[in-house]
Structure 1
Amino acid sequence: MTAPTNIDPKDVQAHLAQFKGDKYRDGWASLWDKGNGLPWDKGFPNPALEDALVQRRATIGGAIGQDAQGQSYRRKALVPGCGRGVDVLLLASFGFDAYGLEYSATAVEACKKEQAENHSWYRVRDQSIGQGNVTFIQGDFFDDAWLQKIGVALNGFDIIYDYTFFCALDPSMRPKWALRHTQLLSPSPAGNLICLEFPRHKDPKAAGPPYPSSSEAYMEHLSHPGEDIPYNEQGLIKQDPLRAPSKAGLERVAYWQPERTHETGQGENGKIEDRVSIWRRRN
């Protein structure tokens, strides 16, 4: 297993502060090039995702789907900002054709190294289904070039898993983040965006990354993709109860506190602060 890095998150914050606007992604790539990666990388998949795939299968669906002609196919799962690829490999172990996207070429190489080490937690879960294909791709989440490289159309992913990606982006990028998910996720009910919401318990005024990410922030941005969402001086979402969700937005179909998660998602006395939410395109 690749050991997690010990870099201080404050050093990451100071480094990324030098990269404004669209250059923000270059800041993350340069961290990988320096050998730092993610300071909160635990080196193994979050157990909350594993539990969701097992316990919420009725909502998420299995790895094998059927098209309109009744032909079976292996469903596609995407992990944007996949880090070392641990969650990609976990999804493949459940039978999904899993794609890990990273902006950094160095990160992609780290993913391939993780795959080669063949850890026990990536074991095939169902021998009758087998393991899905694994593809790691370098590209910018916000453009289509990487989709063309792998031959996947827009709205072509049945599962998208978002963890430490939403919170890693500068909050000014959140409207684009939400809009992009609507462009990548397949139609309902087959398409499910799984968000492991983190860090919910961080002071809303604290610096990032990881940026404080309340459940209300996920709700407002995904319900109104591409729209500017106001935050107050305390860093909290200004919710308008009379504001209707966008017809182009996503709808939250499940929301719960996981039984297990990484220590970074726990507060005092081991209290789990993380939440898992599942989103679908509105019909």
Structure 2
Amino acid sequence: MAGPPSNTLRDHMAKFQGENYVEGWASLWDNRAEGERLGWDRGGHSPALEDFLIQKKGFVGSPIIEGSDGQKSRKKALVPGCGTGYDVLLLASFGYDAYGLDYSEAAVETANKEAAKNRDEYGTKDPAVGQGNVVFVQGDFFKDDWLTKLELEQNSFDLIYDYTFFCALQPYLRPKWALRHRQLLAPPPTGNLICLEWPTTRDPSLGGPPFGVSSWAYMSHLSHPGEEIPYHANGDVKFDPLREVSPLGLERVIHWKPERTHKAGKDEKTGEITERISLWRRQN
């Protein structure tokens, strides 16, 4: 999330409290100039996600499901807070029926225009699998209205990709964020939640958005979805390595350092990649 400058973004979002928080993000889309690319727009899909889907295919599995009757269908992938939707197009190129969700109508319109112009450039990663469908939908991640529009139930998504979404939320929403992922993710063995953890080196005491996050913050919340997690006064999570995963909790299967990522995911001085990708699954 490169800009607007973080202090300006913080000042803007501070005007939107409680359930009005999502209106703050929508207003940025609504008030942007024609053709303007908002600060968190990377200008393309995540190379880290692309490499992960290729190099860790054995963990993620095929985008095609074959039923007991021999009928084949495509797995469903979701990108919450999809914005311009580049990662949705990427997932479709791998063969998933890919859904991009955003609260802003303007974001959904922009994503549809982007797809119309550039989808062919993403091509098909595996001709034997083909391309999946692309659908963008307006709605609140924490509510079911958009699922109703899509005629889908909870636990419908075989892959969920979370990037610049966890860090954009007010920390008090994190328990709800984790529980919602649990509700949307398909049960094992097919359901995979992929998180690109960013910004891991940002001081959490600086506030946000984007809020500084650590791998321990993802671990603490996803292993105990819906539960209040203690934090230090500086905004860093109080991680207990001995605490067992709750019965509803997700388990971390992979924690991986990508070899490629956007500029924002690298140390400004050394160029070292500071992001991590984690893969999570429900226990039941």
Fold in common (TM above 0.5): yes
User: 1:280 corresponds to which letter in structure 2?
Assistant: R
Equivalent residue, structure 1, for 2:240: 240
CA distance in 1, matches of 2:75, 2:241: 36
SS in structure 2 of the partner of residue 148 of structure 1: helix
Cα shift at 1:188: 1.1
Equivalent residue, structure 1, for 2:125: 125
Cα shift at 1:42: 1.2
Structure 1 stretches lacking a partner, 5+ long: none
Specify whether residues 38 and 219 from structure 1 end up closer, same or farther in structure 2 by C-alpha distance, changes over 3 A only: farther
Cα shift at 1:40: 2.4
Specify whether residues 119 and 98 from structure 1 end up closer, same or farther in structure 2 by C-alpha distance, changes over 3 A only: closer
CA distance in 2, matches of 1:228, 1:50: 33
Cα shift at 1:8: 2.2
SS in structure 2 of the partner of residue 195 of structure 1: strand
Asked if 1:171 corresponds to 2:166, the answer is no
Asked if 1:18 corresponds to 2:15, the answer is yes
Equivalent residue, structure 1, for 2:89: 89
Structure 2 stretches lacking a partner, 5+ long: none
Moved more, 50-59 or 38-47: 38-47
Alpha-carbon contact 2:85-2:111 (below 8 Å) kept? yes
Equivalent residue, structure 2, for 1:79: 79
Cα shift at 1:83: 1.0
Moved more, 204-213 or 131-140: 204-213
Cα shift at 1:208: 0.7
CA distance in 1, matches of 2:46, 2:130: 21
Cα shift at 1:120: 6.3
Alpha-carbon contact 1:37-1:107 (below 8 Å) kept? no
> Following superposition of structure 1 onto structure 2, how do residues 112-151 of structure 1 map, counting pairs within 5 Å?
112-118=112-118, 121-151=121-151
Cα shift at 1:151: 1.3
1:190-210, Cα deviation, whole Å (9 max, x unpaired): 000000000001012112111
SS in structure 1 of the partner of residue 247 of structure 2: coil
Alpha-carbon contact 1:97-1:134 (below 8 Å) kept? yes
Cα shift at 1:275: 0.2
TM-score of the two chains, using structure 1 as the length reference: 0.95
Cα shift at 1:130: 1.4
Alpha-carbon contact 1:9-1:39 (below 8 Å) kept? no
Specify whether residues 119 and 143 from structure 1 end up closer, same or farther in structure 2 by C-alpha distance, changes over 3 A only: closer
Cα shift at 1:25: 0.4
Cα shift at 1:242: 3.9
CA distance in 2, matches of 1:193, 1:225: 13
Equivalent residue, structure 2, for 1:33: 30
Cα shift at 1:260: 0.6
TM-align CA RMSD: 1.6
Cα shift at 1:37: 6.4
User: 1:51 corresponds to which letter in structure 2?
Assistant: D
- Percent identical among aligned pairs is 57
Cα shift at 1:5: 8.4
CA distance in 1, matches of 2:132, 2:103: 23
SS in structure 1 of the partner of residue 204 of structure 2: coil
CA distance in 2, matches of 1:172, 1:70: 45
Equivalent residue, structure 2, for 1:264: 264
User: 2:153 corresponds to which letter in structure 1?
Assistant: A
Cα shift at 1:108: 0.2
CA distance in 2, matches of 1:41, 1:170: 20
